[in-house]
Amino acid sequence: MVTATPKQLTASAWTLVIYDYLLTFETEVTTIWPSPWSIGLPLFYLNRYFPLIDQALLIYFDRSTDSAGTCEGIYTTAIWMGFVGSAACRIIIYLHTCALWGRSRTIVFLLGGFLLALFSVWVIFGVLQSANMTYLGVFDQPLATTPGCRKGSRVAYWQLIYSAALTMEAVTVGCMVVRGLQHVQQSRDSWVLTLYWNGILHCVVLTLLGIINIVMMSVPAMRRNFSTETPRNFNDTEESGVTSSRGVLTSIEEYPRHELQTSGKGLWGSSGRHSPP
């Protein structure tokens, strides 16, 4: 039920997140820590720190000698932490896009509806996936050929979860591209280009990873190895934990100070200086 490849992916993903965290910690201290309270602060921290925790849990899961019940608790906690971190990532993108459109009612309700539908799909199929999982400890029969907890699933719903996220990202990319073309024609300021580049790049990479995930799940040989893996292994660990956090930090650094002082609002519509989304 477990192969070495998913374990290696989990370890490499966590290593990447740790490495990026160390590279960007100083920027976080200087840009995020002085920020006044806004809805973006908890979202940023959930998106930035949950991957560190849930990936550590998955690494422990892959090497644990605990009972099946403990293995289930570890894996379930990691999955739902992954969903929470991914949800924070999508809300950041949503707020980013709405801000770029000047909080247009059409965009707010259109993307808000897609976001609500996405979260509903995640919760429903996440619960169904959890209910269909089975777990074995390292000493349970049949004995494992590799160390660590083992898991299996009678039915895998990850393709549906990926497809829902892919639809949301495709719509968001479209909204950002349309607005970006309008703004870039009016202004070539570096911060304008940075805002759109960060947002569009983030969504495009998420979209490509979503397509890769769906294709992988459609290939029988690959589906056997990966159908029980949490989506954070292939999608949101690197992308949400790294690209989204970097995008927020870079956007805040690039946003002109005089714009903040003139408007009295941060980039994401919160009062004060250096407010994240």
Q: Is 4-263 a CATH 1.10.10 domain?
A: no
∠ CA 69-54-231, nearest 5°, is 95
Domain ranges of the chain: 4-263
Compute the average pLDDT of residues 203-229: 65
Looking at per-residue pLDDT, the higher value among 274 and 239 belongs to 239
Q: Kindly report, residue by residue over 250-259, the tens digit of the pLDDT.
A: 555 544 443 4
**Any alpha helices (H) in the chain, and if so which ranges?**
4-31, 40-63, 68-100, 105-131, 158-186, 190-218, 220-226, 236-238, 245-254, 257-263
What is the structure's pLDDT at 221? 54
Give the pTM: 0.76
Question: What CA–CA distance (Å, rounded) separates 245 from 21?
Answer: 9
| pLDDT single digits (tens) 119-152 | 999 899 888 888 888 888 878 888 777 778 888 8
Is the pLDDT reported for residue 174 higher than 50? yes
Average pLDDT, the chain: 75
